[in-house]
Structure 1
C-alpha cells in the first residue's frame, strides 16, 4: 500500500464524523442504561466509580482516547502491523487458557487487578479482521483459489478454536460472520446457499421426524429434476446433493446429542418448543421478554422499570442490556436504538464501497460483519428468538474489553477511510 504525502491532511478534516456521532450516541445509551440496570440507591451518582456505571464512564473516556490515538497513527502501519497484532492476540488467547479467570463457566478473562479484567477474545475480532484484510488484499490472492480460501479459513479458524477451548461459544460463533467478507471478495454464492440449507436441515430435523424431512427432500428433488430433465449434468449434481442432505439429516441427532452440552441442548429445546421449561433453563429469556413487553409503546421511564429495579433479569447490564432499553424506553426507544445500529451498518458499508485500497474495503466489511452479528444475536436472544448465548451488545453492554475492542474495530476503519484519497494503490 502506497500513499501520496502531498494529499495528506490533518486527520480531523477527513474523518467521517457522522459515524463518530453514532458511536458516541450508542456509548451514551449504554452508559445510561447500565446505570438503570444496576442502579444502587446507596450510590445514586452515575459517576460513582465503585459501581459498574461509574466504571463504564471510565471505559468510555478511555475508549475515546484510544480512538483518537488510532486516528493520529500513520495508516500504513495498520496493514504492516496486522500480522504482529494477530500473533499477540493468539498468544493472549493461549495465555488465558493457562492463567485465565473463570467467570460464568468460561475461562476467558485475565485479571488485571482493581476489579478490572481483560477478555482477549474481544480483541481477537479486530485482529482477525486486520490480518484477513492484509492477506486477501495481497497480489495474486483470490478467494476462489482453493489455496487462498484455505489460508483465509485458517486465519479465521485459529482464534475460533482457541476461544472454543475457553469455552466461549458466543464469541466463537462471531467469527462465522466473516464468511460475508469472503463472499464480498468473490466466494461463490452457492457456498452461502449450501450453508443456509444445512442450517435449515439441522433445525427442521430437530423439530420434525427425520423421515418426514427425508421425504420432503425426495419430493423436492424429484420436482426439480422433472423441471430440468434435459440437463443431465445438473440432475446428477442434484441427486448427489440430495444424497448428502439425507446423510446429514441422519447425522443431526448424534451431532446434537454428542456435540453440545446438556444445558445448551435444553436452551435450544425450549426456544424450538421441543420441551417445556420445567427446569427453568429459559428463566433469563422469560424475564427479559416480560421486561421488554411491559415497556409498552413509550416505556416506564428512566429508573422506573420494575423488572430492572428488582433485578429479575440476570446479567442485565451485559448480555441482557436490551431488555432495560425495552422496559424503560419502550418500543419507541428500542426502535431508536435499532435505527442507530442500522444507520451505523449502512454507513460502514458506504465507507467500504468508497475505498480505493482493497485492504481498507475488506477490513470495512469485516467490521460490518462482526457488528451486525453481535447486534442480531444479542437482540434475538433477548426477545427469545435464539437460545441464550453470552454475547455483548456493541458499545452498549457493560465491559471495558467489549467497548475498547469495538472502539478499536471502528476507529481503525475511520482512520483508513480518512486517508482514502491519499492511497495510490494497495
Structure 2
C-alpha cells in the first residue's frame, strides 16, 4: 500500500474540527461558570474533563488507526462530537453537560488521532500541520467575533463545535477506507507484517513529557484569560472576544511565516526561542490591568504559540513516518491542555493572576530545554551510518533531514545495515591482456 494519504484537504478539515474545542476553551469555561452557576474552579474542572477525554482517545488509538481505517475512525470521532457537544448544548443539567463534554471530547481526540497519523505520512508534515493550524485559528477567530453577538449561555460554544464536526463529515470520503500507511503484504504469502517497533523511543518520551508541561502551562493561562480580561482588566465580554479574535488573526500571520520559513532555521531555534518569548507574554497577560496590556500580551502570545506548536508537531511526525509518535505526542499535548484549566483556576485562586503567571513562566522555560535538546539530537541523524554513501549521497541526506518521512529508497534510523555481497570477477591471464592491448591500435586504424 502507499504510505501517502489520498488527500491533504480532509486531514486539515479533521485537524480543525478536533482542535476547535481547545481553541474555544476560554469561552467554554467562562460560559459554564456564568450560565450554570459553577465556581471558576468547577468550570475549569469541566473543561479539563473534556480535554482529558480527548487525550485518552489519542493514547488509545495511537497504534490502532491503521487497523480500524482512517475513514471509519474519523466518522466515529465526528459522530461522537456531534452527539456529545450537541447534547451538552441542549441541556442545563450539570451532570448531562459533563457527560456530553466527555463524549464530545473523546470524539475530538479521535479526529485528531486520525489527522495526526495522516499528516505524519505527508512529504512535509510541518507544512501540513501549519495548514491545519491556519484553518483552526481562522475558524476560532470567527467564532470569537460572532458568539458574543448571538447571546449568552453555555450552549453556543458547544453547538458551534458540533456544527463544525457535522460540516467536516462529508469530507471523510477522501480518506482511505483502510490503512493509509499500514502493514505491507509480504510478497511470498500475502500476509501482513507486524508494525515495526517505535523508533527514537528516548527522544519521543522526552518530547512527550516536555510538551505535556508546555501545553499545561499555556492553557492554564488560556483557560482563565477571559476572566483576567473581565475582572482584572475590567473589559466587557465583547471587547475580550474582539481581543481574542485579533490575537488568533495575528496567529495566522505567525503560522504563515512559519510555513514560509519551513526548515531553514531548523527546529531547535524556533522551539527554544519561541517558547522563551511565550513565557514573557504569559507574564504580561497575567499582570494586565488595562486594555493595551491585555491586548499586547494576548496578541503576541498567540503569534508565537502556533508557530512553536507547528514545529513541535513536525518534530513529532519526523520521529516516525507511520504517525505513532505524532499521535502520542499530540495526546500528551492534549493531556497538558486538559490539566490547564483546573491548574490555572487553582493557581489564580491561591496566588492571584500575577503569581500564577510567574509560576507558568518558570514552567515554560523549564520545558523549553528538553524540547530544544530533542530537536538538536534528532536533526541531522535521519539515516543509518554508511547508508548515505550507498543510497543517494548528499541529496538523500538533505531530503531525509528536511522532511518528516523518508522516501522508500532512503533507509530509516535504526534500519539494519545492508550487507555488501562480494561478486567474484575473473581476471584474464597476463598473456591475454597483452594480446588485447596489442590488438587495440589496429582496431582503431
Q: Shared topology, TM-score over 0.5?
A: no
| More strand, by proportion | 1
The structure with higher relative contact order (CA 8 Å, sep 6+) is 1
TM-score w.r.t. length of structure 1: 0.29
TM-score (norm 2): 0.28
- Counting helix residues as a fraction of each chain, which structure ranks higher? 2
